[in-house]
Amino acid sequence: VTHDVGDLRDFRVGGVTVVSVGGRSVGVFRVADDTVYALANRCPHMGAALCEGHVGPLLTGRPGKVTSGDDDLVVACPWHHWEFRVSSGRALFDESYRVRTYRARVERGRVVVEL
Ligand code: FES
C-alpha cells in the first residue's frame, strides 16, 4: 500500500524526518534532492528509536583523504551507536544486521512510502 507522507520541501536534505505510516514509526531520510529512503524507526539490536540517532554522510577512503559516499547517509543508534547505511539498512560493522527498509520515492513533489 502506498502512503503519501508529505511535501518534499518539508524533508531536509541530509536529514531524517520520522513519520507515522499505517501505525508504524518510519524514518524518511532525504539523501539528495529527489532521493529518499525509508527505514523502520527500530534498531535491530535492542529496539531503540533508531531514527532519533545522529545522521551524517557516509565517509569512505583513507584517513586524511576521506570522501563522502554519494547519495548515502549513515544513522547511528542513540543507544549503543551501531551505525547503519541508510540506502540498504545494513550495519556498517556487520552487514548481516539490518534495519527493516521500505520503498520510498518522490512523486510530483510529494514523498511516498510503500508498506
Ligand atoms: S539498541 Fe541500537 S545499538 Fe543497541
Identify the pLDDT of residue 44.
97
Q: Is the CB of 99 under 6 A from ligand 1?
A: no
Q: Pick the residue with more confidence: 111 or 72?
A: 111
Mean pLDDT, residues 44-70 taken together? 88
Burial 33-55 (b: 16+ CB within 10 A, else e): eebbbbbbbbbbeeebebbbbeb
Q: Is the CB of 84 under 6 A from ligand 1?
A: no
- For residue 90 the three cell numbers come to 545494513
- For residue 1 the three cell numbers come to 500500500
Going by pLDDT thresholds of 50, 70 and 90, the confidence category of residue 69 is confident
Please state, in angstroms and rounded to a whole number, the distance separating the CA atoms of residues 3 and 81.
Answer: 30
Q: What is the pTM of this model?
A: 0.93
Going by pLDDT thresholds of 50, 70 and 90, the confidence category of residue 66 is confident
What ligand 1 atom has the least distance to the C-alpha of 82? Answer: 3
Which candidate, 33, 40, 32, places its Cα nearest to that of 57? 32
Whether residue 27 is predicted with pLDDT greater than 80 in this model: the reply is: yes
Whether residue 92 is predicted with pLDDT greater than 90 in this model: the reply is: yes
Please state, in angstroms and rounded to a whole number, the distance separating the CA atoms of residues 82 and 99.
Answer: 11
Q: Is the CB of 43 under 6 A from ligand 1?
A: yes
Identify the pLDDT of residue 49.
98
Measured by CA distance, the residue closest to atom 1 of ligand 1 is 46
Q: Is the CB of 49 under 6 A from ligand 1?
A: no
Which candidate, 22, 73, 78, 74, places its Cα nearest to that of 49? 78
